[in-house]
Structure 1
């Protein structure tokens, strides 16, 4: 019996919770960045989150061969690049909803990167979805007055790095259990970006009680809890099924940003984000259809 049939609604519920927590993390992070340099914020956040997960993954890490630990740490260096692009894009962004949709392009780019670097053959839906997504991104660029903003470029860089990271994870560390692998990668990101911050960042800290509160919410909820629940949920279903539900993170982020920061979207931004989300649905249509059939009443046999 497949994992989906064993625990369908539990996996879906946990993955939906992950998307809500991840979207909340955009709000927590943006608020914390008001008093912390971006690389220092994300480095210490991931370092503390990795130490928390270490308490749960230590028995598995002790039994793990040294070569697998080295691979996990090396892949963590690539994760550092992705997260650095993301937090810098977030720092410069004036519109979290738009940034979240651009960042979600990483899901669409996974099969494209696999084709370019590893010779895989993406499904036809990828090549249908890609021009739709590019047109959506073009509309977002037009909204800035026929120019691409720095935050948009940084989020595209993050999406590319995340797409490469997913491909490398499935090939280099495919036999490493999810929880210790996540712990290794969080600790790697935390160590690399904290050290990099000490070298290149000179922005003064402004650690008021509210900034510390947002920072701890980022550590405990948006990092430790989010990854712990995501790992558990992904173990209860298939990666493709999980990816469909995780696409909702961008939607939640836009809604939360509208509620918390009062963000609104112009017509071009709405069209651009809608096209990007449509491209994601096209790219994952086989699995989207399966999820919809499960959720719609009267479709279960």
Structure 2
């Protein structure tokens, strides 16, 4: 029985969650040995270069409007990734950071409502208090305030929600009504071209920030074979392959269960971090992460219920 476009998107996004989880391990190893923003710049520029080798025919066909849409997605994503990698550098717990970052999934419909005037399902308003309760439990061990790494992850999550919306709209043909009532159709941007440009912009954004705030000379002189391996693995597996598959999956269907499937990323990350770094979690941290995960499921309860019925 052939897969529908939505089912194919769901399967590919499941693959994305696994690629994203392993990418956390590669990135963590790298930022322990070099400036985080410099690492992100090298990672994304290398990934974009590799994709451009096969994306040239698609890139040559982009018009100015499509190119600007790609750049806009890349600028938002670049800012989000800057906060994320700084959070990773300051974080004391990788698995916990993955759960905090996954809050961006809950915020996707909220951002869609605020920025694009789309309707927000009632389940989202039920999910947000649960997510806040999870954050409270995560912060209790440090008193009544969040650590710097946690705040950076939360900020990244909010910006990731905007990126996810922009990326989905760029990867699909959409009709936009202007203020004068005129309806303008924006054609979809091919996944390979969109991913290539977006990754290049992220590389430039993080590179400029690194040039302003980080020491390059000592970092580049201290490059080792092992560190280069983490950069290459992050660029190929964790970036080029991951975001190409994600963008392609988002282009297949606007109505898939992708958001539900992507909440599996923090689960895989926590498990991999436990095996890779020997991390453990306190009872409060487990409860906090559990509530955050529950909020993600509540947020997409209709999709979860449909999946259960199919199963």
Q: Partner of 2:297 in structure 1?
A: 281
1:239 positional shift? 5.0
Tell me the TM-score normalized by structure 2: 0.87
User: Counterpart in 1 of 2:126?
Assistant: 128
Task: Show the counterpart of 2:214.
Answer: 201
Q: Which position in structure 1 is the counterpart of 2:201?
A: 188
Q: Is the 8 A contact 2:171 2:247 kept in 1?
A: no
- Measured at CA, do residues 235 and 173 of structure 1 come closer, stay the same or move farther in structure 2, by a change above 3 Å? closer
Q: Distance in 1 between matches of 2:113 and 2:48?
A: 32
Aligned partner of 2:179 in structure 1 is none
Q: Give the one of 14, 25, 28 matched to 2:26.
A: 28
Q: Kindly tell me: are residues 164 and 234 of structure 1, through their superposed partners in 2, closer, same or farther at Cα, counting changes over 3 Å?
A: closer
Aligned partner (choices 167, 170, 177) of residue 169 of structure 1: 167
In structure 1, what is the equivalent of residue 4 of structure 2?
5
Q: Of residues 266, 279, 284 in structure 2, which corresponds to 1:263?
A: 279
Q: Note closer, same or farther for the CA distance 1:237–1:170 as it changes in structure 2 (3 Å cut).
A: closer
**Conserved 8 A contact 1:86-1:158:** yes
**Matches of 1:261 and 1:109, distance apart in 2:** 30
Is the 8 Å Cα contact of residues 71 and 173 (structure 1) preserved in structure 2?
A: no
Q: CA RMSD in A?
A: 2.1
Q: Is the 1:86–1:155 Cα contact (8 Å) retained in structure 2?
A: yes
1:254 equivalent among 250, 264, 270: 270
Q: 2:288 aligns with which of 253, 268, 272?
A: 272
Moved more, 136-145 or 172-181: 172-181
2:27 partner SS: helix
TM normalised by structure 1 equals 0.90
Q: Which 10-residue stretch deviates more, 48-57 or 91-100?
A: 48-57
Q: How far does residue 173 in structure 1 lie from its aligned partner after superposition?
A: 6.7
- Structure 2 matches for 1:34-183, cutoff 5 A? 34-171=32-169, 174=172, 175-183=188-196
1:136 touches 1:271 (CA, 8 Å); kept in 2? yes
Distance 1:74 1:232 in 2: 18
Structure 1 pair 76–32 and aligned structure 2 pair: CA distance change class (3 A): same
Q: Is 1:242 aligned to 2:258, yes or no?
A: yes
Q: Distance in 2 between matches of 1:116 and 1:229?
A: 28
Distance 1:163 1:230, change over 3 A: closer
* Counterpart residue number, 1:222: 238
- What residue in structure 2 maps to residue 210 of structure 1? 226
Gaps of 5+ in 1: 297-301
Cα distance, 1:184 vs structure 2: 0.8
Q: For 1:13-24, list aligned pairs within 5 A.
A: 13-24=11-22
TM-aligned CA distance change 1:5 to 1:77, over 3 Å: closer
* CA displacement at 1:6 relative to structure 2: 5.9
Q: Distance in 1 between matches of 2:170 and 2:252?
A: 22
Tell me the residue number matched to 1:293.
309
1:116 Cα offset (Å): 2.8
Alignment check: 8 A CA contact 2:167 2:247 kept:
no
SS in 2 for 1:191: helix
Q: CA deviation at 1:224?
A: 1.2
For residues 116 and 46 of structure 1, the distance between their equivalents in structure 2, rounded to whole angstroms, comes to: 29
SS of residue in 2 equivalent to 1:176 = coil
SS of the residue 1:36 aligns to: coil
Higher mean C-alpha displacement, 26-35 vs 223-232: 223-232
CA change 1:12–1:168 in 2 (3 A) is closer
